[in-house]
Structure 1
């Protein structure tokens, strides 16, 4: 009996303890913690989001490229709209009645009690017209915000643009912090660095009465948070070099990419045809975007990042490096210019070594170099041997950053293509293809495809004798450095001494009489350029011209690739353009006599008489 009496007191004690816990908790909720009252009083509170000041963008020399300017939006709270005179409203705003109805409908679907943008980017006449008559339209208000403005007419493809968030975006968890009417980076650097540029929103809670009249801060701003401005971006782009590159590419289609090989910083990023960044700002952005999208010259297409071309003869340098690494040739190895194997477009002396072959871009020489690399007697079956050899060859090639994303800091990068044995097995069948099927890869043709950015990075690799940093635009975020991934070195599978063996040939291309890249020669200015020309076969029209180089050869500060679509021989059009860009960057100016090149650089339909 005493045992039962003891249990009764224990049970009573448990109930009393639970009751005490609940009482303490209710006291905390109702008296001490105002957050629950805040939630309960939402109908008497106004939650105001403070949009932070978006970070600005500067070039490598501190020149301001992108900043902020105030613009005004017309907002509406549907439940507060009373006795709307639609005809007068539309007359003041110069807008169709159907547009007003659709806007009000969309606002009601989002929220009847929250302010939703009805008209964004009010023009000065629109702002003046509605502001003086706002008292006659309850439920409508004007809100100021900051929009992007530009102090440059260039670099639109890299900078990207800021636009309103779409309904489709709002459905994704990634954009959970955004609301209708918010603006964010849509493309380019504005998109990639959205988090850094945007900053952190602030929240203010204001007491309002049933008429929506503000009565002051809720609990003296206890629950308010301050906005934090976005961080500035300091780019590696040289604004003057970029401007010059876009000038040189006027009337052409193609791209120019320049990189600092020692850091991976992008110095110039030209996509032609180009457009001004201001085309994608302000009211009517959607219409102007569609105009650019329908333009047959495809100005929105980001060629340096997304266009893939066969690299042409520039790729011969990669094949030579791989053959040297594999030990199947030496710098002194010579092959006859046997045009029964493949046509050679250049008349030249016997290719006694790699330097002469590179200088003259001898196709038969590099045909035999790759043949020695791929068919090495790995098996007794020549078809299987070719597949095994191609697989080993491809491992080397991909270490140069090809057939993969380099990881540049703007979206939209394409990988390109380096065909594998499996690629040809699917096309021709296993053990049904050999070296004669793939020999076009030896001269950078066939199924191979790389982007202009990847080609510029190839030149950075040769300048560095075998390594590279991932190309990137941003050298500093705020007061810090670049993102961590842009400080990691990437190494190829080819030893540094083999690159040293190739450089003399690249110097001969530009600096010796008869070299295919003589039009990029800057020796008179004391600059020794190492480069390689390319003429890319194009089944859809005239050949593309390309040239890739780095300079100064003894202490490289710039690596560059130039693609000009349908412009013929690389030595005729791409090489002189690259020479102008290199001199502009290294000396800050172009030699007076070389200024004439600007006028006679050929466009897509023009040709030089010389084939060099």
Structure 2
């Protein structure tokens, strides 16, 4: 009986093991990877990337066919490398380098050997590839740009790097991935999902057909189309206005936060980064350390905001109750403070300014005095400055805004800790930081931040997170972009500010760039600009800055314009802003005199001045 029980247990265990093994091998494929079998070859089928349209349905980016020469190192047989290299227009040294790189990646998996052949190159090669075992041609699609502008917005695609291969198992060596701009941020949506077919091979490396009847094969899923918020015409026009200039323009629709234009100058044609010349062209753009065309000034460049920041200081002063619309300050060509220190402005000596006239005259004395009153309202400079900082940051300054752009910088709004670190042995006070009152000092802003601040003023106290996506096929937009963000300033204070900004055009510093029948509110700015030449801090030509929104009664566009070394706000930035507004609202230009001056204007001589110095540094 005992022997029978023991034999039964052994038989039962054997049945369980055999059953489990049979199930795992014949039925359960959940954890099985066909590529674990050296006799299986994977052939990938790449979908087309989704198309990109502008806000009006204009096609910006489509696809064009291209062909990659692929290699599976373990399948390669001896060949005439000289003949093969001549066909591919590469050197024998390139052949060895590419082959070794593919072997290091994987002897059994396919790698891109020569990417992005043209149609004519493909036609020449396809009949001869049978001579070169281990190599084959794989079709894929490359981007085809329907516009020559917006390179910083759209981004580009290129091969995945080693880090991406290790961190993301989706990608194989030689595959393409979005870089910068929309291509990077919406990569997973635009790329779709590649398909794969598994091919069984015999011991002679001959194809036997589909592995297990294709049970593991998948079909490609085409990338989704998207529409972005950019206006193709306005973007292109902005780039034309900025030819031979450096700087950034950001235009926003205040009611939605949608970015209408995001200009970085100088720019480049996005088609340069497509095809076999992509690497060569990229190197040329990257190595241009003088003009920096790959540097997106619209979101990365940090400038002192200058006089446009006076608007915000005025709003904080009104909210804190240290001034009202009737408060007056007498100006004697500027503001005197400390020991023989002076901030000059263009007011006539003895001018008595109230809030409105101080705005359109850009009075340093008025807004420096307002800033001083804000700080000194509180029992300590630390408390006063922190209150001021919190108000400023409520407009989206000093942070990343939470947008859907691929890059950006935070700018800087100083707080109490900033000055405690700077003056550890000195009790700083309002006058120590008085330059903040006129948008200089330690304040830095990016063009997109200043455009967003302008949109908040246009909306009388709230803004929507600036964003580039308008519509994704079959999906809804992130609610972060449709939820208003409220500033700390009460709505009742904005009418006085807007009236002062309207007067900037009617009788102030921008009166020469008025556009007939369009009510525009704006503010000119001139920011100091320093660099180091031979180790010495040297002042260069000031930056030209302007913010504006229009129409005043129903704002449809708010924008900020920065022109590096542009002298003063009304010389370059204000005319460009007025032209952009008219172009967007009317679709045509009536101020052809301004347009001609901006299109023909060049600042290249200004940019040539500091070339003997150290890398450019903006008022750090």
TM-score, normalised by the number of residues in structure 1: 0.91
- Match of residue 288, structure 1, among 281, 285, 292: 281
Q: CA deviation at 1:336?
A: 1.3
Larger strand share, 1 or 2: 2
Match of residue 257 from structure 2: 264
Q: Which residue of structure 1 aligns with residue 183 of structure 2?
A: 190
Deviations, residues 470-523 of structure 1 (Å, cap 9, x unaligned): 111111111333223212221111111111221110111112x3x11113322x
From 525, 531, 535, the equivalent of 1:534 is 525
The reply on whether 1:549 has 2:569 as its aligned counterpart is no
State the Cα distance separating 1:19 from its structure 2 match: 4.9
1: distance between equivalents of 2:357 and 2:30? 79
Counterparts of 2:162 and 2:36 in 1: how far apart (Å)? 29
Q: Give the match for residue 311 of structure 2.
A: 317
Q: 1:411: Cα distance to partner?
A: 1.8
Superposed CA deviations along residues 146-201 of structure 1, whole A, max 9, x for unmatched, are 11110000000010010001123223x2x221110110001111011111111122
Alpha-carbon shift at residue 345 of structure 1 (Å): 2.5
Q: Quote the offset at 1:145 in angstroms.
A: 0.5
Instruction: Give the total of aligned pairs.
Output: 588
| 1:382 aligned residue | none
In 2, are the aligned partners of 1:73 and 1:121 still within 8 Å (CA)? Answer: yes
Does the 8 Å CA contact 2:331/2:353 hold for their aligned counterparts?
no
The aligned runs of 1:167-566 (5 Å cut-off) are 167-171=162-166, 173=167, 175-295=168-288, 296-338=290-332, 339-341=334-336, 342-347=342-347, 350-376=351-377, 378-379=378-379, 385-429=380-424, 431-511=426-506, 513=507, 515-522=508-515, 524=516, 526-540=517-531, 541-566=540-565
Does the aligned pair in 2 maintain the 1:519–1:579 contact within 8 Å?
no
Contact 2:34 2:198 in 1 (8 A): no
Contact persistence 1:519–1:575 (CA under 8 A): no
Residue 614 of structure 2: aligned partner: none
Aligned residue in 2 for 1:598: 595
Q: Does 1:54 align with 2:49?
A: yes
- CA distance in 2: counterparts of 1:97 and 1:198, whole angstroms: 34
Aligned match of 1:103: 98
Answer yes or no: is the 8 Å Cα contact 1:337–1:344 preserved in 2: no
Change (3 A) 1:426 1:11: farther
CA, structure 1 residues 569+191, in 2 after alignment: closer, same or farther (shift >3 Å)?
same
What secondary structure does 1:305 align onto? coil
* 2:565 alignment partner, SS class: coil
CA drift of 1:222 comes to 1.9
Shift of 1:406: 0.9
d(CA) in 2 for partners of 1:40, 1:534: 63
Q: 1:556 to 1:9 in 2, by over 3 A?
A: farther
Q: 1:508 & 1:34 partners in 2: Cα distance?
A: 74
How far 1:269 sits from its partner (Å)?
0.8
Q: Which residue number in structure 2 is paired with residue 610 of structure 1?
A: none
Q: Residues 491 and 133 of structure 1: is their aligned pair in 2 closer, same or farther, counting only changes over 3 Å?
A: same
Unaligned regions of 5+ residues in structure 2, if any?
337-341, 532-539, 607-620
SS in 2 for 1:52: coil
Question: In structure 1, how many angstroms separate the alpha carbons of the residues matched to 2:363 and 2:6?
Answer: 98
490 and 213 in structure 1: CA distance in 2 versus 1, 3 angstrom threshold: same
In 2, distance between residues paired with 1:17 and 1:344?
Answer: 98
Residue 11 of structure 1: CA displacement? 8.9
Within 1, Cα distance between the matches of 2:66 and 2:35? 35
Q: Does 1:586 align with 2:578?
A: no
Q: Distance in 2 between matches of 1:17 and 1:500?
A: 88
RMSD over aligned Cα, in angstroms? 2.3
Measured in 2, the distance between the counterparts of 1:434 and 1:551 equals: 38
Match of 2:568 in 1: 569
State the Cα distance separating 1:45 from its structure 2 match: 2.3
User: Alpha carbons of 1:133 and 1:570: their partners in 2 closer, same or farther (altered >3 Å)?
Assistant: same
| Alpha carbons 2:335, 2:344 under 8 Å: kept | no
CA separation of 1:82 and 1:400: change in aligned 2, threshold 3 A: same
Q: What's the TM-score, normalizing by structure 2?
A: 0.90
Task: Provide the rounded CA distance (Å) in 2 between the counterparts of 1:40 and 1:454.
Answer: 50
Displacement of 1:15? 6.6
Q: CA offsets, 1:39-73, max 9 Å, x none?
A: 49823322222222211100011111001111011
